[in-house]
Structure formats: C-alpha cells, structure tokens
Amino acid sequence: MKKLLIIDGPNLNLLGKRQPHIYGTDNTQTMLHTVRQAVPAEQYSIDYFQSNHEGTIIDRIHAAADDHETAGIILNAGAYTHTSLAIADAIAAIDVPVVEVHISNVHARSEQIRHTSLIAPVCRGTITGFGIDSYVLAAIALMRPEKQARR
C-alpha cells in the first residue's frame, strides 16, 4: 500500500485554536479525517507528522525518501516556508514529490514576508487558501502522478 505523508510545521499543533479568523476552527483530527475520506483507503494510507522544530522536519523528509512506500508528501511548513533554505534543500535532495500547502491565502496576507516561499521552487506545486481542503487538493494531486508537471 502506498503512503501519503502530511507534515505540519511550527504552530500547526494549535490548529483550530490559533487565530481562527485566519486558520479556521477545524483541528488536526478534522483535517486528517477529511483527507482520509478523500483518499481510497485500499490504495493509500495517510501518515501524519507535526513538529515545531526545523531539524526534525528535515529528518522526517529524509526518512520519507528512504521509505519506498511513500508516494508523496503534503507539506505545510508554516513560517518555515518563508525562512528555511534548509527545508528547501531537503526537498530538493529527494525524489518523493512534495506539494506545499497553506490553509490561508498567504498572498493575501498583510505581512509581506508571507508572500515569499523558499520551498515553492523545489515543490511539485503549491495549494493555498482553501482551509483544510488545501490538504485534500494536495492529496488528489499526488494520487494522479500522470497529471503532474515535473519541477
């Protein structure tokens, strides 16, 4: 069975509680349930990992590359999206496709730094602004590799 790995970065452990006017009120369990409902269980399992620490996120990306069952990574790197060349380098170093996701529309946010992603150039694609459905859309994209553009 193939795996899709969801990696959430810093502060996403507070999903549903943190700034609900920006990120909504759905928590991680709701997000995972929603993604699992959209993915054929007989073909894919969903693994989940969250960390507030850059190095452990990098370690998990590396581990996914060594796991031949991992078909793709859905990555919400949180604030590391805008600051972590190290996470971008980890993505560039692996063959597993990565889709960058964001719950809010980062391009509509008032903080200018949120408009720049250091990881986007090394990801297969970016989905932003659809709440927790951003994760579902990423899962759908990763399950259709024949439709994916190559970076």
Active site amino acids: 23, 102
Reduce the DSSP state of residue 139 to 3 states and report it.
Answer: helix
- Which amino acid, 104? S
Start-to-end Cα distance in the chain: 25
Between the CA of residue 73 and those of 35, 52, 138, what are the distances in Å? 13, 17, 9
Provide the phi-psi class of 32: left if phi over 0, else alpha when psi is between -120 and 50, else beta: alpha
Between the CA of residue 46 and those of 2, 69, 77, 106, what are the distances in Å? 9, 11, 18, 25
